[in-house]
Every structure is written in C-alpha cells, then in structure tokens.
Amino acid sequence: MIEQTVFENMTIVNALIQIIRQALNSQLSDDFWKNCETHLNYLRSQLGLTNFQILFVSILVERSCAMSCDDFASYLNITAFEVRTHGNELDELVNKKWVTQEVSTLRDEIEYKLAPEVATALVNNQVFVPTDVEPDVEDFHNNAADDDYADDEYDFYVGDTDDRNDSNDNNDAAADECTLFRCRSHEEIQKKSLFFNPSEQQQIERLTKLLGVKKFGSIQSRLEKEGMRKGFACLFYGGPGTGKTETVLQIARQTGRDVLQVDMSMLRSKWVGESEKNISNVFAYYRYLCDTSEVMPILFFNEADAIISKRKEDVESSVDKMENTMQNIILQEMEDLDGILIATTNLMCNFDSAFERRFLYKIEFHKPELAVKARIWKSMLKKISKKDAYYLATQFDLSGGQIENVARKRTVNYVLTGKYATLNEIEDFCRTETLGNSQKPYRIAGFSAYTEKVE
C-alpha cells in the first residue's frame, strides 16, 4: 500500500512538471520510470489515465502545439516506431476527448493536440472530465485497488461533484483558450547573433554576467547576508523590433536558465476572481520551479504593458477594481521575489511609478545606430557585401525586427524565382516595412547610380 503522506504536498501541476523534465531525452530508460514512479502514481489516481497516456499528455502540455509520432520520438530521443507501438494509448486519449487528432496537410501525417479545455483544467490543478462522458468512478477505484491504491485514501475528483460541474462550465467557456504560461528549456533556444548600440551592449553584457550560475549565487548570498532583498527584477523597454524578447532568450541560453514565459493576454478572465487567481498561480508555479530546478529559471513577462501601467484612481467599475487588484498582487509578489523576473514593454508613457523601484535593472533598447544597422544587414543577408549593407543602413531607418522581415522576404523571393533579389528589389522590401510612414529613402553622393545585383 502506498501511504497517503507520499502525495500530501503533491499537485497535478508539479507532478506534470517532474514528468516533463524527466522525459526529455530520457529514451524511456529504467531510470526515467523509477524517478517518475511517485508522480505517475499520483496522476493515475487523479486523472484516471495510464502511464503512457500521462506521458503523452505531459509532453503535449509542454509543447503547446500539435505533435506527430516523430515529434514525440524527438522529445523522448527514441524511434518513431517505438512511439507508434503505443498508438493505442493515443487513440484512447482521443476517445476520452483529452486529445484531438488531424492529418497535417504539410507533413501528411497524423498530429495530436491537447484539447484546450484540458490544458485549462490541468494548469489550474483541476481534473478534466468531458461533459458528454461520465467516468465510471467505481471501475476506476477497482483498477486503482489492483495497483495497490486504497479507495478510502484518494479522491478521483479534486473537489466535490458540484465543484467539478462548475469547473466544467469554466472549461467549456475556455475551450478556445491557451495555457497561461509555457516552460521553455534553455537547450531548446537556438543561438542567435544580436547587435546592440554600445550603451545597450554594455548593460546587457553586465546583466548576463551577473546572471551566470556561480556569480548569481554569490550575489544573492551577499544580499541576503546584508539583509537586502535578493530577487532580481529587470525591465527591458523600447520600441518594437529592437530585440527585447530575443535578448531575454539569449541571456537564458547563455546562463543555462530555463524560461517560464507567461502569456499576458491570458491572465485576464471573464470569470469573477479568476484573473487574480491566474496571477497568483503564475508566481506559485514559478516558486515551485525555483525549488525543484538545479538552476533557477527566469520568469518572463513579455509585452507586459497592461500589468505595469498606472493604476486607476477613484475606481467604480468591477473591471477597474480587478485591474488594480491584479497590479497590487504583482507588486507584492515582486517585493517578495527570490528569483529572476524579466519584463518587456513597448510603452513607458503609462508606467506606474510603484513598479519603478521594484525593477532593479532597467535597460532601454533604442533603434540601432548606423554602424550597428550595417552589421545587422550583413548578418541577415549572408551574401550581401559590406558596401551594400552600409548603403541599406544609411537609406532606411529600420529596427532589427524590420530588417529581419526584409531578409525573410528576400529568402521567399529566392525560393520562388531561384534568384537573389537585386538591390532595387531589396529597397522595395524596405519601403513596405515603413507602411504609411512618410520616410523616403534619400540618395547619398557616390550611391546615386548604384544598381549592382546582390551576389
């Protein structure tokens, strides 16, 4: 018999996290099953799924996208054939309405995706029960007894029947919603060359250095010894396309830190009290990751304009009250933060001063200067000459993100025509990036007749 105390502090979320972490590149070894035994037992008791069904669900929760057998195989570092031998488990998940399946038109193979209402339920530590499928609780407990579970030790539902019905209503309403956050391993982040103005470069290098595993631990210990708050909250602000988001990811990759990226648009809910609960759940989840990870992860609030805007005064509507309550929760969580939080925003004009002192480091991202833009052009367009790169940098005041768009259009054009775009065509791509802006490229002496094709 498994003692109830083994599961006393366990939740659906932290059990899934453990399985997600252990499953990556595990090859489904004996060590994997041994390390996950307790968490699998707990999830079987709560969800009524088999070990392999739990494994597939865990991976789908982590990836948050449609996956084929090849994709599962890549995650587990096994052959696709091995995954297909457990295809009946995936079919059963489809029958239970935990997973949907469809044939990918691009890859011509079956792909599986977690049902949105399932993702919503799991991320909120709730059991998913489809509205048109009544689970046979008696059969479940009989099966559990065969696996050395006592019927009087565990409840199939997290709450009582009424609570579960209420939860189903919420799940139905959220059927088209995504999960609140995504855990991203630093190993998944592709290396990318970034170019900054000297002022930003110096600050970013300093931040990256102090977030290194050894250095950061020493800094936190010193701060704690001197009675200071040891959490690090950083704000990256500036115009769109200046590299704020990618900088966060590259810092995570370089420092070996996983990223818990929050979908800010999903924090608000039409259900009373749910928005505040979502905020609290995010920080509770992050604290769990900090406690269970070898290297402290980064909590990432991308495009956090809404949550760091000025709080409303003399509020009367319930929506305004909810907004203020959410911001107050975040302010308090930042005050108590022991980990690393990085937020990005395009808008600083509506910045609430209460957040200012809570961000220890604030880095402004400007549009790249001329020399930096030329380096970006040269990096994005591999076959372009330095002369061409400097010319484009001079002619068009584009951000790094806009230059990347031009590079992508050039690649698409090559696929369609088999030829690299000429300089004139690249200039046309640049003009479309400015949309309705009045900016007009100007000619500089020495370039007025320059029409050489890109080699």
How does DSSP assign 280-348, residue by residue?
A: HHHHHHHHHHHHH-SS--EEEETT-TTTTBPPPSS--SHHHHHHHHHHHHHHHHHHT--SEEEEEES--
As a whole number of angstroms, the distance between CA 380 and CA 400 comes to 10
Q: Which residue has the higher pLDDT, 55 or 320?
A: 55
Q: Which two tokens stand for residue 206?
A: 């300093």
Asked whether the predicted pLDDT for residue 130 surpasses 80, the reply is no
Q: Which two tokens stand for residue 430?
A: 């640049």
Asked whether the predicted pLDDT for residue 349 surpasses 60, the reply is yes
Closest CA relative to residue 36, chosen from 16, 64, 59: 16
Element holding 234 (H helix, E strand)? strand 232-238
Asked whether the predicted pLDDT for residue 123 surpasses 90, the reply is no
Residues 6+ apart with CB under 8 A from 59: 20, 23, 67, 72, 75, 76
pTM: 0.59
Q: Among the residues of 128-197, which ranges form H helices?
A: 137-146, 161-173
Tell me the per-residue pLDDT of 60-110, one tens digit each, with 9 for 90 and over: 998 888 899 988 999 999 998 899 999 899 999 999 899 998 887 666 678
Beta bridge partners of 184: 259
Residues 6+ apart with CB under 8 A from 418: none
Q: Would you say 255 and 211 are in contact if contact means Cβ atoms under 8 Å apart?
A: yes
Give the CA distances from residue 163 to residues 129, 166, 167, 346, in Å, rounded to whole numbers and listed in that order: 12, 5, 6, 41
DSSP 363: E
Cα–chain center distance at 111: 21
Angle at 191 between CA 189 and CA 195, to 5 degrees: 125
Q: Mean pLDDT throughout 209-223?
A: 92
The position carrying tokens 């990918």 is: 104
- Residue 130 has phi, psi (to 5 degrees) of -60, 145
As a whole number of angstroms, the distance between CA 420 and CA 381 comes to 10
Residues in the chain: 455
Q: Would you say 286 and 327 are in contact if contact means Cβ atoms under 8 Å apart?
A: no
Tell me the per-residue pLDDT of 225-246, one tens digit each, with 9 for 90 and over: 999 999 999 999 998 889 999 9
**Can you give the pLDDT at residue 3?**
42
Share of the chain above pLDDT 90, in %: 40
Beta bridge partners of 183: 260
DSSP 453: P
For the four alpha carbons of 196, 201, 207 and 211, in that order, the dihedral sign comes to: positive
Q: How many CB atoms lie within 10 A of CB 224?
A: 12
Q: Mean pLDDT throughout 427-433?
A: 90
**Can you give the pLDDT at residue 393?**
92
Q: Would you say 13 and 288 are in contact if contact means Cβ atoms under 8 Å apart?
A: yes
Closest CA relative to residue 399, chosen from 346, 343, 342, 444: 346
Q: Which two tokens stand for residue 208?
A: 């990256």
Q: Mean pLDDT throughout 30-34?
A: 91
For the four alpha carbons of 155, 158, 163 and 165, in that order, the dihedral sign comes to: negative
Tell me if residue 164 falls in helix, strand or coil: helix
Asked whether the predicted pLDDT for residue 448 surpasses 50, the reply is no
Q: Which fold has domain 4-178?
A: Arc Repressor Mutant, subunit A (1.10.10)
- Top CATH class of 184-365 equals alpha beta
State the pairing for strand pair 259-262/181-184: antiparallel
- Residue 113 has phi, psi (to 5 degrees) of -140, 140
Asked whether the predicted pLDDT for residue 35 surpasses 50, the reply is yes
